[in-house]
Structure 1
Amino acid sequence: MSGFIVRIVQTRGDSFQIGLETGEVLRNSPNLHVLSSITKQEIDISEMQSIFSTFAPHLLDELEGLAEGFGISSKRAATLFSGYDMPKTEAMGCSSLLTKEYYVRNYDFSPDLYDGVFSLIQPNQAFASAGYNLQVLGRHDGVNEKGLVAGLHFVSNDRYQKGVSPWTTIRMVLDTCSSLEEAVAMLKEIPHSACYNFSLGDRLGHMAEVEASPDEVMVRYGESFLSCVNHFQDEQMKSKNRPSIVGSQERNKHLLSLKDKKWSHQHMFEHFKRKDSPMFFTDYEDLFGTLHTFSYSYQESRILTTIAGCRDVIDLNLQDWVNGEDIPKEELIGYIKRTEKS
């Protein structure tokens, strides 16, 4: 068994200050080395700034704060953390289930390419939110103070182009959108770099899967139940799927089998995080091991989340946090079983 740690970062204030505090916390973590190995040496800063100015201008201030917090140049911070013009990413697994009452999701990948950060932020210029960081600025998944919850799901690199990464897209949605309708509208406009699903739900129980590619975006709505995995399901988008989607289809079949069970938020959260669950995977060496479970109840404004092999659960009322009540936890410690390749 090997351990891994997720830090809990809680910051409030202007976007520059949030970036500064986040950078100071992560300055001595392995993040900088890992990101240096998977990002380009430089990007077109003016192109990135133009896109950010259109969709989430406050994130430019956060990038400046991250630069100071990490002790690097603004140009280097933009290259490392903006999520713009990223090289093609490895396939990752993500499964989400949405009902009118809650959203539950697992993220599956490798701990070697995992930020290991759960952030609660309250920017003066954007909505407060809670979620797991990716490339520091971005988010795997999360929920904002308006009760809008979102997560990303890799599909393929079909028609890959220079554009905004899905994790930066999730961050822009959480920071600036208050409803499913607003999130869908933004996802139709952002220049996507690759093919991803975005699972979305809001406090009114509205839900959708946005199937996004660099050249086309389709929306699949749910009425009372929706599953979202790692392949496009809209007939118009299926040609963009990877050649083999058997694993994604099997996960989707299991999710659909849960539709009539009417489980509570707590029960579904437990089902996703259990090691013996059909939704929990341990193939970490091949980039498909469960790293965290994230969930949110709309009526209770309740987040339940944990990481693989961790006895502790973050159980918090997001509105209480927005009103100033920090949580006492500083980290989650998880354990995973890794197998040596022969």
Structure 2
Amino acid sequence: MKKIHSDIIQFRGSHYDLGYKHGEQLKDSLIMKNRRKHWKIRRPRFTIDTNDTKHAFMKFAPRIWDELEGMQDALKSPIEEIIRDFGGYRIESPRSGCSVYTGKDFLIRNYDYHPKTYEGRFNVFAPTDEGYAVIGPAQRITGRMDGMNEKGLAMGYNSIHRKKPGSGFICHMIGRMILETCASVEEAVEFLKEIPHRHTFSYVVLDEQEETYIVEASPRSVDVRQSNACTNHFEMKQDENRHHLEDSYKRLNAIIEQKDHATDAHKAFRMMNDTDKGVFSNDYRNWSGTIHTSAYLPKEKQVWFSIGGDQEPNIFDFGKWLEGENFTENRMYGEVDTDLGFAHI
């Protein structure tokens, strides 16, 4: 078992100032050292066009471009490097697992990925310039793996495949944009129909009105269905699915078989986080091990979060935070059953 942590980063202010703070925190961090080491070994399989990237941000989330400029000023790096490492537009994202289960008043998500990509940053941000306040774990600093905003819109995504990529945004930046710009599941669905997608993912959204939508999005088309369980395959766009889906169906079937007992948020959290229930995964070497389990309760404005399996969650009252009461904790701890390294440790 490896003991790991996630830092709780709270910020109220402009996007530029948030980006500058990110940059100052990252200057001498292991995250940046690992990122530079990565690019010494591998050449990017994508091209960076600064003007094209800026134009895309200006159309969908212009203040996030301000955040990237704040990071550039703090890190004193060329904007091309900032876009490459933190922009989330026309870049590659590794394969991953993940499972999502919802009820009328909760969305619970297992984040399944490779440890070396996990940066251990849990962000709570209330912008003073534009956009909704958002709480959730960060991916590549600027993106969000899952989360909830001040309107009670909760979001999680699941990877389908990376074949035939398009010219668009990748999953974690799309997740961030959904939460900062959309107030309801209907707005989120329309946003996902409009934004260009780099890769093929399912996006699961729930709000206070108790309806869950699963958006099956690829660079080629977007379809919408209603269900309360989602793993790593499409139900509607089956021609987009990978050939080997045994693990995805295994986790989905485990959820379906137990959902009659997962009648409230606590029981559903246990179904997803307990290592003996068939949903939690220890397959870290194949980019599909569960690193965290998160739960979002839109009506209560609560977030539950645990690192590793068989854990009691850390509970965050996002409603009180929105009223100005900061969280007293600066860090969360957990244990993951792997000997692989993490990006921030």
Shorter-chain-normalised TM-score: which range?
over 0.9
In the alignment, what sits opposite 2:20? 20
| Residue deviations 1:66-117 (CA, integer Å, cap 9, x gap) | 2233342333212210111113x33211100111111101011111111211
Secondary structure, in 3 states, of the residue corresponding to 2:210? coil
Alignment partner of 1:123 out of 121, 124, 127: 127
Separation in 2 of the partners of 1:92 and 1:311? 22
Kindly indicate whether the alpha-carbon contact (under 8 Å) linking 2:274 and 2:311 is maintained by their aligned counterparts in 1: no
Separation in 2 of the partners of 1:132 and 1:10? 12
Alignment partner of 2:107 out of 70, 89, 103: 103
Kindly indicate whether the alpha-carbon contact (under 8 Å) linking 1:111 and 1:291 is maintained by their aligned counterparts in 2: yes
Instruction: Verify: 1:257 aligned to 2:250, yes or no.
Output: no
Secondary structure, in 3 states, of the residue corresponding to 2:186? helix
Deviates more, 1:198-207 or 1:23-32: 23-32
Kindly indicate whether the alpha-carbon contact (under 8 Å) linking 1:310 and 1:334 is maintained by their aligned counterparts in 2: no
Separation in 1 of the partners of 2:231 and 2:119? 22
In the alignment, what sits opposite 1:289? 289
Separation in 2 of the partners of 1:145 and 1:35? 32
In the alignment, what sits opposite 2:273? 273
Separation in 2 of the partners of 1:66 and 1:314? 29
Secondary structure, in 3 states, of the residue corresponding to 1:327? coil
Kindly indicate whether the alpha-carbon contact (under 8 Å) linking 1:35 and 1:135 is maintained by their aligned counterparts in 2: no
Distance apart, 1:11 and its partner CA: 0.7
Secondary structure, in 3 states, of the residue corresponding to 2:9? strand
Aligned length: 334
Kindly indicate whether the alpha-carbon contact (under 8 Å) linking 2:261 and 2:267 is maintained by their aligned counterparts in 1: no
In the alignment, what sits opposite 1:190? 195
TM alignment of 1:313-332, pairs within 5 A: 313-332=313-332
Question: Runs of 5+ in structure 2 lacking a partner?
Answer: 341-345
In the alignment, what sits opposite 1:78? 83
Distance apart, 1:133 and its partner CA: 0.8
Kindly indicate whether the alpha-carbon contact (under 8 Å) linking 1:4 and 1:111 is maintained by their aligned counterparts in 2: no
TM alignment of 1:1-342, pairs within 5 A: 1-36=1-36, 37=38, 40=44, 43-87=48-92, 89-124=93-128, 125-222=130-227, 226-234=228-236, 237-261=237-261, 263-308=263-308, 313-338=313-338
Kindly indicate whether the alpha-carbon contact (under 8 Å) linking 1:130 and 1:142 is maintained by their aligned counterparts in 2: yes
In the alignment, what sits opposite 2:343? none
Separation in 1 of the partners of 2:3 and 2:27? 21
Q: What CA RMSD, in Å, does the superposition of the two structures yield over aligned residues?
A: 1.9
Aligned-residue identity in percent: 31
- The aligned amino acid for 2:156 is G
Separation in 2 of the partners of 1:320 and 1:339? 38
Kindly indicate whether the alpha-carbon contact (under 8 Å) linking 1:67 and 1:73 is maintained by their aligned counterparts in 2: yes
TM-score normalised per structure 1: 0.92
Kindly indicate whether the alpha-carbon contact (under 8 Å) linking 1:310 and 1:333 is maintained by their aligned counterparts in 2: no
Distance apart, 1:186 and its partner CA: 0.6
Separation in 1 of the partners of 2:273 and 2:29? 26
- The aligned amino acid for 1:59 is I
Distance apart, 1:271 and its partner CA: 2.6
